[in-house]
Structure 1
């Protein structure tokens, strides 16, 4: 019987990023594939039967695969330079919870599955929770297959090279029907639990959030021969847009808007860019407010571009409205974890996608600083252990 900390320690060297710090484990990269093999080995050691479905989701079954099963799990991919806990904590805790339940001598009344969803972070193909979106049909299949990574490879090509058949990718009602209830444990990605008090919280909702691509087009030219007055420089416009994103969001209570990625084309040091692409993340509890926020940012972006002799276009890449987890399931979990506070989150999760189709819930484990998507993300050993026990208690109460 391995603890969560022992399980996480066994993968601590997989995908370390020597440049960014932390871990870079994009979907179907060598580190993420190594983690998939680790998961298969861990599941086999526990006598769980492994299968990978047509969307690349891994299922480890305790009992026969059947409709209405209890399912738990998370993801193994990461953002570039991410922390050690975002995703793997949920997977390791699920495996540890199985150990705890078996040690208790539990005989499940219905089947239990531990799942791993691919491309939760969207760090390779730009769409978060791609695996759960495909499973549920929440994303158009053609759009998904034609998503491209930074090297220009399509999701269809990458999927094919990793054993999936692009012709069969997409909504899978049979697999979805196997999920009777879904419970995802995750590191908290904020300061809701603080440094004192309970280490575990029950999730209530997920903020509406989306990703947009802003493209600013100007005139590519020579950095040494083009006078400052003769330039239509999209990089200058992009700098104004980044500030406009911050200022526009700051005027709206509870809004969050971030430009976390910017790519100049062609990207030479002595070249005035011809185009700059910026990726925008925006969130707010009220979907109507999010829409108005994006509209205001786009107007500001067009004005900033025009002032530099450039143009700006906006493309939505993904959007998920505010999600409220199943109230009945959350109440049952609350009764199994007396004293656990109820907590909303601003971070997206596969549980949020699944919530529109099956009863879903989340547990959060304390992150003392609230820092996440960073090498500084942290969960104390005792809190990780408490999380596994809490998950085991919940699963036992629901089985």
Structure 2
């Protein structure tokens, strides 16, 4: 940048000197010939004023050179100031990108062809099917370099499916965090599109909690670790990304677990960046049971919408229940509505905890987690905490070896 600045300044100075020389050559010092009849008549018309043609040209030449010099110096100073300003802004952007992300910059992505993915998934056979999404299926794959991966096959049946695919690819190619799923690559065909992620061996939190095992693999401390990991991922999106990202679909099925039960947020098809989520800009989307009331009723979307959804996930971890439970063929019950009256009653709370973890935790910690969950699912968004505050509340409840600050006594 500095070398370019110096070079530009040299060019400007040379051009400036050339222009001055050109002016001088164009207006050479004039000899003083006898006055023309015109000047004689002007002198006689204006007594006391001596009109010398050569002197006048010299004065005009000097004025022209002085004004040109002043203008040139002003232009050079402005250019110097502009280059210094841009250099400082570039430095600031670099520093900011070290602590967060710049959504305006595009990241590197591997592009896979269809045949490679077809081979890696065994022809997309059912035995490799590991999940189902809103617009397609997810398969386990083994790539040519023996890397295990998950391949989401999206059927391009609608413009909405295409938009979500492009949105997810664009965002995940730029954001990198231990608690955000890693994008390995993608490809797009006429009838289908594919996204390749890192493989999360333990599947989704939803499958762990509500699947055949009914949460038996998740101890109290493991559940708190998953909550903390998820909060860290959301905090990264809200506080560290530039511009901030609102996920819009935080739920247990979009929280994936690796072989060590480290949690990572996935599925960014509905995510939006700050400034792009006005009521008239986006379609109301989300999953029943996780959608914040103000977004559902008024279309008002903020980062507090993600906090509400996180609160529902926290209740799932605490109580082992689904966000919406079917009572009859025509009636459903919200987990938030059912749990709220009991979460604030210390005598009732221990009785509604997931039986798998019942009486395995310090009741003081249980009350703390319940209090955090209650705050997160408040109907009024201004009463909900920032995700940073939630994160700080959870850190002391997670053992040091699992990423928190709690030191267990033996």
TM-score range, shorter chain: under 0.3
**Which TM-score applies when normalising by structure 1?**
0.25
**Which TM-score applies when normalising by structure 2?**
0.25
- More relative contact order in 1 or in 2 (CA 8 Å, sep 6+)? 1
Bigger proportion of residues as strand: 1
Bigger proportion of residues as helix: 2
